[in-house]
Amino acid sequence: MGRRKKEDNGAPKSKYSEAMRAAALRYRQKSQHAISLAYRKKDYDEIVAPAAARAGVPVATFIKMAVLEKVERDKEKSNES
């Protein structure tokens, strides 16, 4: 009752079909860019992660917010000139 059926290899059967997984992958490839960032561990541990925690958001969300804030500041600067 309420348990998912197990596949032949003993792993729980996924609730998503292969077609659904492929469709989700196609959507992400079509509509999103993946950006890889590398931080020195010390900088990440001492600066990035604590700042994201203070903001109450995941690190990826914090970075996205920081980029948008920078873009807005740059727009304001260019409008002032």
* Alpha carbon distances (Å) from 30 to 3, 11, 22, 54: 35, 31, 12, 33
Residue 49 falls within a domain, yes or no? yes
Look at residue 1 in the predicted model and tell me its pLDDT: 52
Q: Which residue has the higher pLDDT, 58 or 34?
A: 58
Q: What is the pTM of this model?
A: 0.65
pLDDT at 19 > cutoff 60: yes
* Residue 8's pLDDT band (cuts 50, 70, 90): low
Q: Across residues 18-33, what is the average pLDDT? A: 93
63 three-class SS: helix
For residue 58, what are the domain limits?
34-80
Average pLDDT over residues 52-70: 97
Least confident of 28-37, 46-55, 56-65: 28-37
Q: Give the CB-side neighbour count of residue 13, counting CA atoms within 13 A.
A: 9
Q: Cβ neighbours of residue 41 under 8 Å, at least 6 residues apart?
A: none
| Torsion angles phi and psi, residue 22, rounded to 5 | -65, -40
| Alpha carbons 77 and 45: distance in angstroms, whole number | 32
**Domains held by the chain: number:** 1
